[in-house]
Amino acid sequence: LPHLVPKTVITLAGGLHERVVKEIELSNPSRKPLEYEVRLDGAACFCLGDKTPTASGAAKTSLRLEPRTSLKVEVGMLSAFSGEMSGQLFFLSRGDGVGSSNASSLVFDLKAQVSFGQPHEELAFEARLYAPTVFQLTIAPPPQLARALEGGSVRVELYEDRPPLEAAQSPGSGATKR
């Protein structure tokens, strides 16, 4: 079916737990209103507007575009997982030809590229060499994903940031710094 071939790929790139939104502008040049069923299929990270992504990854809504007007539709991504995800956004024409115009259906491929993004918090400690340092760390998911992660597992990564070592150089020792 040629009317279900995707028009383009909408790429949403961002960090983990970061909301990314892009707009699609639809215009109606006709004298009758257009009616669409808007359907979102694919990965659970995609959402319409400022809504929270659904657990199943599928969302439906209807849209009415009045004559000689335009409307911006937001498609967003809020991911709980890193990597690449895909989906499709459908604008299926529901015009009857009498009260509203028959329009072409529109399909867009969605692609999410999720990286680790910026850390939510950084902690710095100083310690003597080989001396253990004890600190308390509170682990909590971002509020917008707390419900989605119930009963799941959380990954914590700790990185050690070591200051550069300076080569000791004394006069006449012949040691050089590189």
The whole-number average pLDDT for the span 19-27 is 91
In DSSP terms, which residues pair with 73 in a beta bridge? 24
pLDDT tens digits along 92-101:
988 777 777 7
The pLDDT > 70 percentage for the chain reads 71
Highest mean predicted confidence (pLDDT) among 15-19, 48-52, 97-101, 163-167:
15-19
Pick from 12-16, 93-97, 141-145 the range whose average pLDDT is largest: 12-16
Q: How confident is the model at residue 133 (pLDDT cuts 50, 70, 90)?
A: confident
Query: What distance in Å separates the CA atoms of residue 71 and residue 75, rounded to the nearest whole number?
Result: 13
Q: Is 32 left (phi over 0), alpha (psi -120 to 50) or beta?
A: beta
Q: What is the pLDDT of residues 66-121, one digit of tens each?
A: 999 999 999 999 887 888 999 999 999 887 777 777 888 899 999 999 887 666 67
Supply the pLDDT for residue 56: 46
Which of 83, 52, 77 is closest to 147 using CA atoms?
A: 52
Sign for the CA dihedral angle at 100, 105, 106, 107 comes to positive
The residue with tokens 């400022």 is 50
Tokens representing 96 are: 């009857």
Dihedral of alpha carbons 31, 37, 41, 46, sign: positive
pLDDT at 5: 86
The single-letter DSSP state of residue 100 is: S
Residues 6+ apart with CB under 8 A from 16: 79, 80, 81, 82, 114, 115, 116, 117
Helix (H) or strand (E) holding 99: none
pLDDT at 178: 46
Q: Full-prediction pTM beyond 0.75? A: no
